[in-house]
């Protein structure tokens, strides 16, 4: 832990020297959930929100009851991706759906640096994107401003915030964005399927390893959602899994999951297994497959084994 503490001291010195000051939170307390519901109704009516229907079932392995959703209609999302690729080919510039973002998806101003919008192709109701107003790379180091925006949203309602750092970690857009989904994650009321494996670790306040998780990771409990505190723990987690920081860039792809109670980081080795893609939500215990054939593959391999393959060995 001495090396981690030293690493954190260096990082905290860097952000202080760069004069990264506290953001003024623009979001009015107690208003976010109402704004989400109101904007969702509007976006559905005008056709801006294109929810993807799913069917689901539970697949158990190693003490976790994984929720696996089968996407029933990806035609509109696939067409949108094809249009983006055509635009990139014709203009030479990559399409950025967040600059500008669709006004009909706008939920709230969070701070001078971040806004909150609805996920256009949501699978789960009220899926939010916490995006930077100005372009920043998705692989870049999370900043105090990022965690302040996260804190503002977590204060409003109980949810899971996650960050897919890089394409290998499941990021589909280069523009920096955190994501947030309300809890519980499952239709049967289970908050987070992976939670049973975290119970013992939650008694310990230091950076720990969960023995039942077969991939490299680092976990810590949280006493509050204070942005400055989570920022410091975030750097400790990076050090614990040997992810190095150089000029605001991270040495590898990773997934970050944050709730009001804990934070988990998982470095990545690959984006998926046999065409089954995995992002941060996989490590929470929920997965997506595109069709029944992928569901068969997932059941054959096992969801925890898939996580082991896309992660790194301990």
CA dihedral 117, 283, 85, 140 (to 10 degrees): 70
Question: Whole domain around residue 148: which residue ranges?
Answer: 2-310
- List the structure tokens of 255: 């997934």
CB 307 within 8 A of CB 278: yes
Token output for 9: 């001291």
- Decide the pairing of beta strands 272-273 and 218-221: unpaired
The model carries a pTM of 0.89
Q: C-alpha angle 124/177/125, rounded to 5°?
A: 10
> What total number of domains does the chain contain?
1
Packing angle, helices 292-301 and 303-310, rounded to 10: 80
- Residue 84: the pLDDT is 59
Give the separation between CA 140 and CA 146, rounded to whole angstroms: 11
Decide if 134 contacts 146 (C-beta within 8 A). Answer: no
In this predicted structure, what is the pLDDT of residue 92? 64
How are beta strands 272-273 and 276-277 bridged, if at all?
Answer: antiparallel
Closest CA to 301 of 49, 31, 68: 68
Intervals of the chain under pLDDT 50: 1-21
Structure tokens at 222: 């949280």
Q: Which strand (E) or helix (H) includes residue 13? A: helix 2-17
- First-to-last CA distance in the chain? 17
Q: What is the CATH number of the domain that holds 194?
A: 3.30.428.70
């Amino acid at each position: 832990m001495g090396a981690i503490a030293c690493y954190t001291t260096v990082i905290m010195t860097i952000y202080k020297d760069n004069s990264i000051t506290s953001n003024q939170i623009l979001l009015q307390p107690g208003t976010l959930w109402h704004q989400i519901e109101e904007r969702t109704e509007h976006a559905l009516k005008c056709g801006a929100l294109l929810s993807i229907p799913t069917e689901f079932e539970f697949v158990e392995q190693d003490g976790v009851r994984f929720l696996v959703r089968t996407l029933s209609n990806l035609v509109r999302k696939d067409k949108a991706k094809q249009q983006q690729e055509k635009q990139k080919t014709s203009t030479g510039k990559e399409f950025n759906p967040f600059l500008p973002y669709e006004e009909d998806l706008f939920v709230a101003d969070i701070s001078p640096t971040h806004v909150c919008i609805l996920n256009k192709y949501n699978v789960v109701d009220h899926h939010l994107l916490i995006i930077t107003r100005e372009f920043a790379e998705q692989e870049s180091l999370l900043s105090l401003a990022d965690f302040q925006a996260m804190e503002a949203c977590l204060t409003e309602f109980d949810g899971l915030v996650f960050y897919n750092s890089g394409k290998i970690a499941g990021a589909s857009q280069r523009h920096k964005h955190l994501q947030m989904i309300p809890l519980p994650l499952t239709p049967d009321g289970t908050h987070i399927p992976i939670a049973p494996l975290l119970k013992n670790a939650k008694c310990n306040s230091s950076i720990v390893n969960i023995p039942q998780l077969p991939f490299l990771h680092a976990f810590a409990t949280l006493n509050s959602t204070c942005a400055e505190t989570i920022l410091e723990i975030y750097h400790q987690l990076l050090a614990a899994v040997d992810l190095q920081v150089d000029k605001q860039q991270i040495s590898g792809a990773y997934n970050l999951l944050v709730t009001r109670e804990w934070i988990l980081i998982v470095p990545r080795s690959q984006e998926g297994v046999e065409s089954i893609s995995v992002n941060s939500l996989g490590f929470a215990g929920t997965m997506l497959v595109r069709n029944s054939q992928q569901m068969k593959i997932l059941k054959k391999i096992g969801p925890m084994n898939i996580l082991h393959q896309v992660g790194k060995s301990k």
